[in-house]
Amino acid sequence: MPKWLNCYMAAEAQGSVDAVFRALADPTRRQILKLLRKTELPAGSVAAAFPISGPSISRHLSVLKAAGLVSERRDANRLIYSLEGSQLAEVTGSWLLTVCPDDMSDLLVKGKKKKEKTSRKGAGKGSIGKAGAAREACSSSGGGEVGS
C-alpha cells in the first residue's frame, strides 16, 4: 500500500474534520459522492463513470470510507457503496459553526424555509440555500465570506 494512502487512512480513522476535508479536496471524490447521492452503487459502476483505472477509483473509495463519508457492504462477490450524508452534514456543519457561530443556526433554518417556499411555487429562484446562508452568517457577524 502506498505511503500516502497509509497517511490518509491513519488520519481519517479518527473521523476528524481534517480527514473529511482532505477527502473532499479531490474533485474525483466529490464526483463519487454526487453519484452515490442518488443511490447505492457497486464499485464497478462507480469505476465505469470515470476515465481513470479501477484501482484508482478503489483508492478514492478507500479514502472516502476511512473518512466516514461512504459505507460499503458485501453482496455476494460485489462491494456496494452508499453515501453517509449524515457524517458529511455533521462534520461540515460543526466546522461552519466554529468559523461563524453567531446566528448560523437561524440563517440555515431561514434559508431552508425560504427554499421550501420558493420550490413549492415551482420557481426555485430567490432561495439563498445553505451556502448562501453560511455566507450571510459570516458577513453579518463580520467573519467575511465562506468558500470564496
How confident is the model over 123-148, as pLDDT tens digits? Answer: 444 444 444 544 454 444 444 434 43
Phi, psi of 145 (to 5 degrees): -90, 150
Three-state SS letters, 53-84: CHHHHHHHHHHHHHCCCEEEEEECCEEEEEEC
pTM beyond 0.95: the answer is: no
Provide mean pLDDT across the span 91-107: 74
Report percent pLDDT > 70 for the chain: 57
pLDDT at 27 over 90: yes
Report percent pLDDT > 90 for the chain: 43
Ranges for all domains in the chain classified under CATH 1.10.10.10? 3-86
Could you tell me the strand order of the sheet in which 70-75 lies? 41-42, 78-83, 70-75
Provide mean pLDDT across the span 46-75: 94
Q: Which of 12-21, 22-31, 32-41, 119-128 has the lowest mean pLDDT?
A: 119-128
Please give the CATH architecture assigned to the domain spanning 3-86: Orthogonal Bundle (1.10)
DSSP letter assigned to residue 129: H
